[in-house]
Every structure is written in C-alpha cells, then in structure tokens.
Amino acid sequence: MYNLFRNLLNNLWMCFMSKKYYDNFVQHTIYFEPSTYNTIKILASKKKQSTTETVRILLESGINHELLANNTNSIAKILTPILKEISRTDNERLAKLIIKTMKASAAGIYLTMQAIEDIGQNKGSHRPHG
C-alpha cells in the first residue's frame, strides 16, 4: 500500500513538474560509461544539484564553448584578410619611406665625398695671407 501511494504521489509530482518546469525541455536518454556517470554524480553532489541538471549544464557549457570556438574561427577568417591588407598598405608606405631615407642618405654621402674631394684638389691653391 505504501509503495502504491508513493508511486501515485511521485507520478502526480512529475505531472505537476512537467507542466510547470519541463514544458520548455525535450526529453532524451543518454547512456554513460560508469566512470563518467560517477563523475557526474560527484559534481552534482558538490553543487547540490540533480544529476539531470548537472548534465544539462555541462552540455550547454560544452555547446556554448563549441559555438564560441566556431564563431571565433569565423571572425578570424573575416578579419585576417582585412588586417593583412591594412598591414600590407602600412608596410608599403614604410618601405617607400625607408627608400626615400636611403636616397637622402646616399645623396648626403655623395655630396660629402664630393666636398672632401674638392677640398683635397684645392688644398694647395689657396694660401692663407699672413
């Protein structure tokens, strides 16, 4: 009699809960390795949750992590060509600036060498008045 009453209450409670709480969920059966199930039970007891809720949270967390990883890859695929183009443009601008600087340095070296050569050629032609 006690078991019958307990089963009846349990069924009523599940009907009440399914209408109140479980309407937004889909039921699915999952089979676990015994070690995995034991780990889930340990996690559930530490967090003071049911194993069902713990599994649901773990699955949602894993799915969110996977979605984040996929979205990160998608964003990276979009941003990589843009950043390469920006970098290429900056690199080309920097290379042109370096070339101009090198030309200016080469011109300065050439003019300095020319001045030294001119001083060397004209060294004996001018004597100081004294």
Give the count of beta carbons closer than 10 Å to the beta carbon of residue 54: 19
The tens digit of pLDDT for each residue in 60-90 reads 888 888 877 777 777 777 778 877 877 777 7
Distance CA 103, CA 99 (A): 6
Higher pLDDT, 18 or 114: 114
- The DSSP letter of residue 123 is T
Instruction: List, in order of start, the domains of the chain with CATH numbers.
Output: 27-119 (1.10.1220)
State the burial class of residue 62 (Cβ atoms within 10 Å of its Cβ: 0-12, 13-18, 19+): exposed
Instruction: Tell me the pLDDT band of 20, cut-offs 50, 70 and 90.
Output: very low
Distance CA 77, CA 93 (A): 25
The tens digit of pLDDT for each residue in 91-120 reads 788 888 898 999 889 888 989 888 888 887
